[in-house]
């Protein structure tokens, strides 16, 4: 299986070119003014190329009856970074976004925009852009009116004039690659187009941070993949500090500069997509990110002994006691003889140029998944016996 790595599709040179030739002085001016208002001066020169502002979360907590939705969240996000908040349903992702946006008060802790404590800032001053899965466009407004909404509803003092707003809307329509659709109503758009318009509406105010809560969650698989690649290219051009919530590990790994893995209101691990995939710090991370098979067993004197084959000794750094070994499908192979865990092929699935082989290592034990390059022709057949050898694995203690 290929490791889903993040490769910017737009070369950096062209990203710089876009910034250098940005035909939107009004945008830059609004951004600078907004930053000055928020007191992010230290940041202003660093973010001049894009409109990102750094974001710091300190010891954030939020309790609901019987559950800690946020249980001490500390995180530093760099200006212009695209960070994915990844975690299972109920892990606190939406709560965290709402606290950052100022839609919800934390019980404790701080949110800092640039260097400034945001608890002192009004919702408007926080100047965040949102796209939510079910945060629909205004039905009675055209696409252009939707995009202009955030600017039009500013107090007169900071509201751009009509002409500037119209120009900004045109730029955003071009940016989201829907230049002809300004006059349409939301019901005349596809789901993917609607979410692009929602993104343009969020970007119109030149937000300090862009908060996206499962924005593509309601779209079908193919459109989701297209849109996340599009969003990545867009981000490379705009340099907007972005927090992207998803429960889909593939989406997080492909899209983000860094991934923050949440579990039960706590940060389980933070790292680049490659770090999370290659060096998961816990059993939960190993299991949640990428595919994994497990062998249950015991550690004694730095050797893991699978319960199904106690004569097999696999070196590890886990403490003595009950433990579980985790292995990726491409790090395990079935061989005719040699050292390894005795196994029998129980299923072979071939699709998309790769073959997955499922082997049984004993009655009652979970099956292991091995990946074999190419189609089923070269793969072992159901019923074939051999031993599974492990190239790379991690062992985590049960405690
Ligand atoms: P996620 O977005 O990761 O699915 P949420 O942030 O929505 O998770 O929820 C985190 C936890 O807080 C869950 O256990 C959820 O049930 C609980 N929760 C969220 N909002 C409320 C609320 N308004 N009242 C009570 N419990 C809530
Ligand atoms: Mg949620």
Backbone angles phi, psi at 380, to 5 degrees: -65, 155
Is pLDDT at 319 greater than 70 in this prediction? Answer: yes
Query: What string of H, E and C letters represents the secondary structure of 316-354?
Result: CCCCCEEEEEEECHHHEEEECCCCCEEEEEEEEEEECCE
Given this model, what pLDDT does residue 51 score? 62
Question: Residue 123: CA atoms inside 13 Å, Cβ hemisphere, count?
Answer: 9
The best mutation among 95, 100, 104, 246 to test binding of ligand 1, ranked by most ligand atoms within 8 Å of the C-beta, falls on 95
**Nearest ligand atom owner, CA of 261:** 1
Q: What is the pTM of this model?
A: 0.82
pLDDT value for 386: 95
Q: What is the pLDDT of residue 12?
A: 27
Please report, rounded to a whole number, the percentage of residues in the chain having pLDDT higher than 90.
66
Q: Specify the residue with its C-alpha closest to ligand 1, atom 7.
A: 94
**Chain-wide mean pLDDT for the chain?**
85
CB burial readout 144-159, b (16+ within 10 A) else e:
bbbbbebbeeeeeeee
Question: For position 219, what pLDDT does the model report?
Answer: 86
Does the pLDDT of residue 43 top 70, yes or no?
Answer: no
pLDDT given for residue 320 in this prediction: 96
Cβ(103) to ligand 1 under 6 A? no
Residue 246 near ligand 1, beta carbon < 6 Å = no
Q: Is 73 exposed, middle or buried (0-12, 13-18, 19+ CB in 10 A)?
A: buried
pLDDT confidence tier of residue 95, bands split at 50, 70 and 90: very high
What residue's CA is closest to ligand 1, atom 5? Answer: 92
When comparing pLDDT for 352 and 18, which is higher? 352
H/E stretch holding 343 reads strand 341-351
- Rounded to whole angstroms, how far apart are CA atoms 109 and 101? 14
Helix (H, G, I), strand (E, B) or coil at 71: strand
Split at pLDDT 50, 70, 90, the class of 198 is very high
State yes or no: pLDDT of 15 exceeds 70.
no
For residue 36, pLDDT beyond 90 = no
The 8 Å CB, 24+ separation contacts for 63-71 are: 63/107, 67/265, 68/264, 68/265, 69/95, 69/265, 70/95, 70/96, 70/99, 70/106, 70/109, 70/265, 71/264, 71/265, 71/266
Does the pLDDT of residue 42 top 60, yes or no?
no
Show the tokens assigned to 68.
């800690």
What is the pLDDT averaged over residues 300-312? 95
Ligand 1 within 6 A of 132 CB? no
In 33-176, the DSSP E strands lie at 55-64, 67-77, 82-86, 108-113, 116-117, 128-132
Question: Domains, the chain, ranges and CATH?
Answer: 12-127+206-283 (3.40.50.300), 291-397 (2.40.50.140)
Token duo for residue 349: 């699935």
Structural tokens at position 157? 């003092």
Does the beta carbon of 89 lie inside 6 Å of ligand 1? yes
Kindly state the percentage of the chain with pLDDT values over 70.
86
Identify the weakest region by mean pLDDT among 10-19, 56-65, 143-152, 171-180: 10-19
């Amino acid at each position: 299986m290929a490791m889903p790595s993040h490769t910017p599709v737009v070369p950096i040179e062209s990203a710089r070119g876009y910034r250098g030739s940005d035909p939107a002085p009004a945008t830059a001016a609004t951004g600078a003014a907004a930053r000055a208002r928020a007191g992010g001066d230290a940041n202003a020169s660093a973010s001049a190329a894009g409109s990102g502002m750094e974001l710091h979360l300190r010891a954030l907590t939020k309790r609901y009856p019987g559950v800690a939705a946020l249980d001490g969240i500390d995180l530093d996000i760099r200006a212009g970074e695209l960070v994915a908040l990844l975690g299972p349903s109920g892990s606190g992702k939406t709560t965290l976004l709402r606290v950052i946006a100022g839609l919800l008060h934390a019980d404790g802790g701080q949110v800092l925009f640039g260097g400034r404590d945001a608890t002192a800032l009004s919702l408007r001053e926080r100047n965040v852009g949102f796209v939510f899965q079910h945060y629909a466009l205004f039905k009675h407004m055209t696409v252009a009116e939707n995009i202009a909404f955030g600017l039009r509803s500013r107090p007169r003092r900071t509201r751009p004039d009509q002409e500037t707003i119209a120009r900004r809307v045109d730029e955003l329509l071009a940016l989201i690659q829907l230049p002809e659709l300004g006059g349409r109503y939301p019901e005349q758009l596809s789901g993917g187009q609607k979410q692009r318009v929602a993104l343009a509406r969020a970007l119109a105010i030149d937000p300090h941070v862009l908060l996206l809560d499962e924005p593509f969650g309601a779209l079908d698989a193919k459109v989701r993949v297209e849109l996340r690649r599009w969003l990545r290219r867009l981000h490379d051009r705009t340099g907007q500090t972005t927090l992207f919530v998803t429960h889909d590990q593939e989406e997080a790994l492909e899209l983000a500069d860094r991934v923050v893995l949440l579990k039960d209101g706590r940060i389980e691990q933070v790292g680049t997509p490659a770090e999370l995939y290659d060096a998961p710090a816990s059993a939960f991370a190993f299991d949640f990110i990428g595919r994994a098979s497990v062998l249950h067993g015991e550690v004694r004197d730095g050797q893991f002994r699978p319960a199904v084959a106690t004569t097999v000794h696999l070196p590890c750094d886990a403490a003595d006691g009950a433990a579980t070994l985790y292995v990726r499908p491409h790090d395990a192979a079935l061989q005719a003889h040699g050292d390894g865990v005795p196994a029998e092929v129980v299923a072979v699935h071939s699709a998309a140029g790769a073959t997955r082989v499922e082997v049984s290592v004993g009655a009652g034990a979970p099956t292991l998944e091995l990946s074999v390059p190419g189609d089923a022709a070269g793969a072992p057949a159901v019923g074939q016996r051999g031993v599974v050898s492990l190239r790379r694995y991690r062992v985590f203690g049960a405690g």
